Structure 1
Amino acid sequence: MTTDNLDIIGSEEWCVFEELEIPAIKARVDSGAKTSSIQANNIKVFTRGAHEWVRFEVNPLQDNRSINIECKARLVDRRVVKSSSGISEERFVIKTPVKLGEKTFDIELTLASRDTMEYRMLLGREALNGRYVVNPAVSFNIMPMSLKEVGEQYASYVKEKTGLKIALLASNPNLYSNKRIMEAGEARGHDMVFLNVEHAYMKLDANSPEIRYRGGNILNEFDAIIPRIKPAVTFYGCALIRQFDNLGVYCLNSAEAITQSRDKLFASQLFSKNDIHIPITGFAKSPMDTKDLIRMVNGAPLIIKLLESTQGKGVVLAETNKAAESVINAFKSVQTNILVQEFIKEANGQDIRCFVINGKVVASMQRQAAKGEFRANLHQGGSASVIKITAEERRLAIKAAKVLNLAVAGVDIIRSNKGPLLLEVNSSPGLEGIENATGKDIANTMITAIEKKLKFSLL
Structure 2
Amino acid sequence: MDSVDGKIIVGSEEWCSFPDAGLPAIKARVDSGAATSALHATNIVPFERDGRPWVSFEVHPLQGDRAVVVRHEAPVVARREVRNTSGVSENRYVIRERLVLGEQSWEVELTLANRDAMGYRMLLGRQAMVGRILVDPEGSHHLRSLSAEESRALYAHVRKRDDGLRIVLLASNPDLYSNRRLIEAGEERGHHMQFLNIRQCYIRLDPRNPEVHYRGGDVLGTVDAVIPRIRPSVTFYGCAVTRQFESMGVPSLNSAQAITASRDKLFASQEFVRAGLNTPVTGFADSPLDTVDLIRMVGGAPLIVKLLEGAQGKGVVLAETQKAAESVINALQSLDANLLVQEFIKEAGGTDLRCFVVGGKVVAAIERRAAEGEFRANLHQGGTARTVQLDAAEKQMAVKACKALGLDVAGVDILRSHRGPLLLEVNSSPGLEGIETATGLDLAGKMIRKLERKLGWGRPPADGAMEARSQSQPLTPA
TM-score of the two chains, using structure 1 as the length reference: 0.65
Equivalent residue runs for 1:416-455 within 5 Å: 416-455=417-456
1:236 aligns with 2:237: yes
1:271 aligns with 2:272: yes
Runs of 4+ in structure 1 deviating by more than 2 angstroms, as ranges, are none
Question: Highest CA radius of gyration, 1 or 2?
Answer: 1
Counterpart for residue 316 of structure 2: 315
Name the SS of the counterpart of 1:370 in structure 2: coil
1:338 aligns with 2:339: yes
The 2-side partners of 1:275 and 1:455 are apart by 32
Unpaired segments of 5 or more residues in structure 2? 1-160, 462-478
Equivalent residue runs for 1:335-374 within 5 Å: 335-374=336-375
Q: CA deviation at 1:394?
A: 0.1
Q: 1:246 to 1:320 in 2, by over 3 A?
A: same
Counterpart for residue 218 of structure 1: 219
2:202 counterpart letter in structure 1: Y
1:436 counterpart letter in structure 2: T
The 1-side partners of 2:358 and 2:217 are apart by 34
1:209 counterpart letter in structure 2: P
Counterpart for residue 116 of structure 1: none
Counterpart for residue 32 of structure 1: none
The 2-side partners of 1:272 and 1:355 are apart by 21
Counterpart for residue 457 of structure 2: 456
Counterpart for residue 246 of structure 1: 247
Name the SS of the counterpart of 1:356 in structure 2: strand
1:411 aligns with 2:405: no
The 2-side partners of 1:355 and 1:323 are apart by 35
1:258 counterpart letter in structure 2: I
Counterpart for residue 190 of structure 1: 191
Q: CA deviation at 1:220?
A: 3.3
Name the SS of the counterpart of 1:457 in structure 2: coil
Counterpart for residue 375 of structure 1: 376
The 1-side partners of 2:332 and 2:321 are apart by 17
Q: CA deviation at 1:363?
A: 0.4
Q: CA deviation at 1:450?
A: 1.1
The answer as to whether partners of 1:210 and 1:220 remain within 8 angstroms in 2 is no
Q: Deviation string for 1:168-210 (max 9, x for gaps)? A: 0000000000000000001111100000000000000111111
1:324 counterpart letter in structure 2: A
1:439 counterpart letter in structure 2: G
Q: CA deviation at 1:161?
A: 7.6
2:418 counterpart letter in structure 1: N
The answer as to whether partners of 2:162 and 2:187 remain within 8 angstroms in 1 is no
Name the SS of the counterpart of 1:201 in structure 2: strand
Name the SS of the counterpart of 1:324 in structure 2: helix
The answer as to whether partners of 1:350 and 1:369 remain within 8 angstroms in 2 is yes
Q: CA deviation at 1:452?
A: 1.3
2:301 counterpart letter in structure 1: A
The 2-side partners of 1:346 and 1:449 are apart by 36
The 2-side partners of 1:340 and 1:405 are apart by 25
Counterpart for residue 466 of structure 2: none
TM-score of the two chains, using structure 2 as the length reference: 0.62
Counterpart for residue 179 of structure 1: 180
The 2-side partners of 1:256 and 1:447 are apart by 20
Q: CA deviation at 1:162?
A: 1.1
Name the SS of the counterpart of 1:312 in structure 2: coil
Counterpart for residue 101 of structure 2: none
2:221 counterpart letter in structure 1: N
Name the SS of the counterpart of 1:272 in structure 2: helix
Root mean square deviation of aligned Cα: 1.0
Counterpart for residue 89 of structure 1: none
The 2-side partners of 1:412 and 1:180 are apart by 22
Name the SS of the counterpart of 1:184 in structure 2: helix
The 2-side partners of 1:409 and 1:249 are apart by 20
Q: CA deviation at 1:212?
A: 0.6
The answer as to whether partners of 1:351 and 1:368 remain within 8 angstroms in 2 is yes
The answer as to whether partners of 1:279 and 1:423 remain within 8 angstroms in 2 is yes
The 1-side partners of 2:193 and 2:333 are apart by 45
Q: Deviation string for 1:295-335 (max 9, x for gaps)? A: 10000000000001100000000000100000000000010
The 1-side partners of 2:219 and 2:310 are apart by 34
Counterpart for residue 299 of structure 2: 298
2:178 counterpart letter in structure 1: S
Name the SS of the counterpart of 1:412 in structure 2: strand
2:426 counterpart letter in structure 1: V
Q: CA deviation at 1:283?
A: 0.4
Q: CA deviation at 1:457?
A: 2.1
The 2-side partners of 1:294 and 1:455 are apart by 50
2:382 counterpart letter in structure 1: G
The answer as to whether partners of 2:162 and 2:190 remain within 8 angstroms in 1 is no
The 2-side partners of 1:271 and 1:446 are apart by 24
The 1-side partners of 2:423 and 2:348 are apart by 13
The 1-side partners of 2:209 and 2:326 are apart by 54
Q: Deviation string for 1:227-258 (max 9, x for gaps)? A: 00001110111111111001111101101000
The 2-side partners of 1:317 and 1:406 are apart by 29
The answer as to whether partners of 2:367 and 2:386 remain within 8 angstroms in 1 is yes
The answer as to whether partners of 1:311 and 1:379 remain within 8 angstroms in 2 is yes
Q: CA deviation at 1:386?
A: 0.2
Counterpart for residue 104 of structure 2: none
Counterpart for residue 210 of structure 2: 209
Name the SS of the counterpart of 1:276 in structure 2: coil
Q: CA deviation at 1:401?
A: 0.3
Counterpart for residue 165 of structure 1: 166
Counterpart for residue 81 of structure 2: none
